[in-house]
Structure 1
Amino acid sequence: MLPETVLRTDDVAPDVRFDVWREAMVATIFPMHISSRHSSDFWGHTRLLTLDDVLLWPVAMQASRYRRTAELVRRGDPELYHITLVLPGSGRLRVDHGDRRHLSAVNNLYILHSSQPCDVEVEENELAVAIGVEIPRVNFSSTAERAIGRILGHRISGQEGFGAVLSHFLSHLVSRNSAHRPSDMPQLKQILLDLVTGLAARELDAEASLCTETRRRNKFLLIRSYIQQNYHDPALTPRTVAAAHFISPRQLHRLFEAEGITAAAHIRGRRLAEARRRLADPAQYTTSIQTIAQRCGYTSAAHFSRSFSAAYGMAPREYRELEHRQQLDTKLGSLALPPAADRDWIPA
């Protein structure tokens, strides 16, 4: 699990909730003037996750306004890039950054920089539901910074291209924090930096200006995301993946070879991992194994069974029954009688 700190305004007295929230936001992002019509009894909830020197903070809060003025910039600049991904359930956010103004709605992204004045306001009487990210500028090359600088304050789609991949990655990080270990932080951070760099380059159609290694990683991340979204399609093969990304099968092979795996093995692993998850899901216990295999991209139940057995050392049905018994044992264990000393109420 990545280091995590939780802040809920419900945990403090109503008359100091907004002051506590304001101090936390200034400490998390950068010095700003923060105001809200709900300041007398403000509601907000956030978690702060740490990836080395990068901070991620999923947040839900009442309508409020965040202004970083030229005066505050002159007083001090932490030199941070701030990214916001607007999530379902959120009202629109009015964003001013320099001479750019837009309204960010659900599934939009935008990037700000602490060295420039900005003004972000949640629409009145609406909630803001989003993921915020703070990245020190020292993490980016000068080439990447030039690309990012040209899209500051823009509204960016989080449903296509690198915007979709970045949105998916951020959502995964904050919703599946327990799945990661502290030792994963360097790799997770590098993926995030590559995605932000790739997003800026793609928005400007300037990917050719990036270094070869960054371009390779960006292409690999896009392809991996494509496989993640299409593993259930029986027609998904290394050849069709290559064609969908306008590269040759040989180029696809080289991309995956650099990651120590083949494209075919990655597709197979994705399908098997999803099948294993479904087999262990109590809600799908009555779903036939053949149906699960089909939903994971297999056209032959026999082929699925052989592949699953080779990967996990037991047949799908055997694995499902083992998981089912373990889940039942866990439930029964939670219903076990208390120690004898605590069972005086039980009649002889």
Structure 2
Amino acid sequence: MGLTVYDTADLPAEDRFEWWREVVSQGAGATDVTREDRAGFAGSMEVLSLGAARIATLSYAGLRSQRTARLIRRSDPETYELTLLLGGTMGVSQARQETLLRPGDFNVWSSSLPYDSQSAGEPDGSARAVVLHLPRSFLPLPAAKVDRLLARSLPSGSGVAAVFARHLTSVVREAQSLTSVDEERLGVMTWDLATAFVAHHVDAADRLPPHTRHQLLLKRLDLFIEDNLADPALSPRQIADRHHISVRLLHRLFADRKETVSQTIRRRRLERCSADLVDPRLRALPVHEVGRRWGFTDAAGFSRTFRGAYGWTPGEHRRTRPAGFMASAG
């Protein structure tokens, strides 16, 4: 387990492309990677192991990647690869289907079928993507249905896809600070969300185990809370109503956590205020307006709540903490 970092910057320029080809082939099965300008190639990759699942974050110059029938016969890890494109474009072809991916699009491809992709970078020359490697045998869905998603563009702007995309990018962002216990737990959660994402697109949500549906609903609730912290009316009742569940069920979903729903809202609001108070760009914004930005409509109440959580007032926080500092609300 743990995070492994690969970077061509550590190698002589003439060795970088060949080394990259070898590293990439170790991840998703042997792949024929080609590029006209090999001398100008640069790439980096971080691989995070989460039990059976692996997340790879890649940044690389444009190239072509092919997995042929010959390479499949030589070795097949029998995985699905879920790619979230973050930058650049990528043309993908598999199973007689093809598509052009743009930033924010998901794509599913199989290591067991011939595959062809052509990536082009952004103006700075690099393409960026997050790839989740999933063993096919672990996905509790009919392979025939899943294969219908191959080489299709699946936007991540809303619904289950948005929840899944935010989860992947947040795991990647915090990868260096995760413990082995964190990785185990996040592996289960990642697996559940990936399964829910695929099931949604193949109309097989009813086949998901109760635990997976439970985790997906929790992630949707977390995302809703995160997106609505500035709304003073945000409350357990509003959250439950928007998700068509009872307040009782909402509280039961949070029962295994250290915080209640209201405590979660309060902590996240205070953390946003903490960050804004020391943001140089917001230095001219009065303290009470910082609180108002995140749902604290009463200035005196905001000050009391902030002091109760951190031990000092919002004004003291602004005067004594360095830029970028974020206190942890207890």
Q: Same fold (TM over 0.5)?
A: yes
- The residue number in structure 2 matching 1:293 is 291
Q: Helix, strand or coil: the match of 1:122?
A: strand
Matched, 1:157 2:131: no
User: Please, which runs of 5 or more residues in structure 2 have no aligned partner?
Assistant: 326-330
Matched, 1:72 2:67: no
Q: TM-score, normalised by structure 2?
A: 0.88
Please tell me whether the aligned partners of residues 276 and 290 of structure 2 are also in contact (alpha carbons under 8 angstroms): yes
Question: Counterpart amino acid of 1:103?
Answer: L
Q: More helix by proportion, 1 or 2?
A: 1
- The residue number in structure 2 matching 1:345 is none
Displacement of 1:320 in angstroms is 3.2
Q: Helix, strand or coil: the match of 2:305?
A: helix
Please tell me whether the aligned partners of residues 121 and 127 of structure 2 are also in contact (alpha carbons under 8 angstroms): no
- The residue number in structure 2 matching 1:270 is 268
**Could you report, residue by residue, the CA deviation over 1:86-135 in whole angstroms, capped at 9, with x for unpaired residues?**
113x1x21111212211111100111121222111114996422122223
Aligned partners of 2:14 and 2:296: how far apart in 1?
59
Aligned partners of 1:26 and 1:184: how far apart in 2?
28
Q: Helix, strand or coil: the match of 2:268?
A: helix
Q: Helix, strand or coil: the match of 1:23?
A: helix
Displacement of 1:22 in angstroms is 0.6
Q: TM-score, normalised by structure 1?
A: 0.83
Matched, 1:235 2:250: no
Matched, 1:101 2:98: yes
Aligned partners of 2:181 and 2:144: how far apart in 1?
31
Please tell me whether the aligned partners of residues 306 and 312 of structure 2 are also in contact (alpha carbons under 8 angstroms): yes
- The residue number in structure 1 matching 2:80 is 81
Question: Counterpart amino acid of 2:153?
Answer: R
Equivalent pairs counted in the alignment come to 323
Deviates more, 1:174-183 or 1:128-137: 174-183
Displacement of 1:264 in angstroms is 1.7
Question: 1:60 and 1:141, CA in 2 relative to 1: closer, same or farther beyond 3 A?
Answer: closer
Displacement of 1:191 in angstroms is 1.9
Deviates more, 1:25-34 or 1:311-320: 311-320
Question: 1:258 and 1:152, CA in 2 relative to 1: closer, same or farther beyond 3 A?
Answer: farther
Query: What are the residue-to-residue correspondences of 1:166-181 with 2, within 5 Å?
Result: 166-181=164-179
- Root mean square deviation, CA, Å: 2.6
Aligned partners of 2:85 and 2:27: how far apart in 1?
18
Q: Larger C-alpha radius of gyration, 1 or 2?
A: 1
- The residue number in structure 1 matching 2:5 is 5
Question: Counterpart amino acid of 1:306?
Answer: R
Displacement of 1:12 in angstroms is 2.2
Question: Counterpart amino acid of 1:184?
Answer: D
Query: What are the residue-to-residue correspondences of 1:112-123 with 2, within 5 Å?
Result: 112-123=109-120
**Could you report, residue by residue, the CA deviation over 1:243-288 in whole angstroms, capped at 9, with x for unpaired residues?**
2222222222222224353222221121112122223445444432
Question: Counterpart amino acid of 1:59?
Answer: L
Please tell me whether the aligned partners of residues 60 and 126 of structure 2 are also in contact (alpha carbons under 8 angstroms): yes
- The residue number in structure 1 matching 2:107 is 110
Matched, 1:316 2:314: yes
Matched, 1:131 2:99: no
